[in-house]
């Protein structure tokens, strides 16, 4: 959100709640699929461990620019610009045909998750300030709820038998 005065408060709160839910859900769906991806690509535990470091590398890279992007463009556009690729990267991770694709996708996934995380927290602080009461704990609870729903829905509906 570029200007706090332009904020439709109920809409901004619901959108921020959705961002937290999506971020948690995307991470959980990926985490629920790590064992099957390891098996599918026939990765050793060591190789998988090194591949998973790509999420951290992408995340650290994003953290160095996340605040500046949110300050320059507003948290809302950054959330939108990162939520879409975050969601779209999950099936690419799950269906990665080889290790290089997995690592590059994990790098992008970590980058998008982190950018989105900083922007959604900044937006949550802005909404909380406008509301005049604490809501950050409920937003973080929605991240956890998204994680539960993401992992649970994957397990119930999509996981291979």
Give the pLDDT band of residue 2 (cuts 50, 70, 90). Answer: very low
Residues 6+ apart with CB under 8 A from 133: none
Q: How many CB atoms lie within 10 A of CB 132?
A: 6
Distance, in Å, from the CA atom of 53 to the CA atom of 68, rounded to the nearest integer, reads 24
DSSP string, 141-158: HHHHHHHHHHHHHIIIII
Report helix, strand or coil for 1: coil
105-127 confidence digits (pLDDT tens): 999 999 999 999 999 999 999 99
Contact between residue 38 and residue 86 where contact means Cβ atoms under 8 Å apart = no
Residue whose token pair is 């799950």: 94
**Could you tell me the pLDDT band of residue 14, with boundaries at 50, 70 and 90?**
very high
Report whether 146 contacts 29 (CB < 8 A).
no
Joined tokens for residue 36: 């099957």
pLDDT digits (tens, 9 = 90+) for 22-58: 999 999 999 999 999 999 999 999 999 999 999 999 9
Helix (H, G, I), strand (E, B) or coil at 32: helix
- Among 55, 19, 57, residue whose Cα is nearest residue 34: 55
């Amino acid at each position: 959100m570029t200007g706090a005065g332009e904020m439709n408060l109920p809409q901004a709160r619901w959108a921020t709640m959705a961002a937290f839910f999506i971020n948690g859900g995307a991470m959980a769906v990926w985490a629920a699929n790590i064992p099957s991806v390891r098996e599918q690509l026939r990765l050793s535990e060591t190789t998988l461990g090194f591949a998973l470091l790509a999420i951290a590398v992408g995340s650290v890279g994003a953290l160095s620019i996340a605040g500046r992007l949110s300050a320059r463009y507003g948290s809302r556009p950054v959330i939108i610009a990162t939520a879409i690729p975050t969601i779209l990267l999950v099936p690419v991770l799950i269906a990665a045909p080889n290790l290089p694709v997995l690592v590059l996708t994990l790098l992008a996934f970590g980058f998008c998750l982190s950018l989105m995380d900083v922007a959604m927290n900044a937006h949550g602080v802005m909404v909380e300030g406008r509301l005049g009461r604490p809501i950050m704990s409920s937003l973080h609870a929605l991240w956890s709820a998204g994680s539960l729903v993401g992992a649970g829905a994957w397990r119930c509906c999509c996981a291979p038998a």
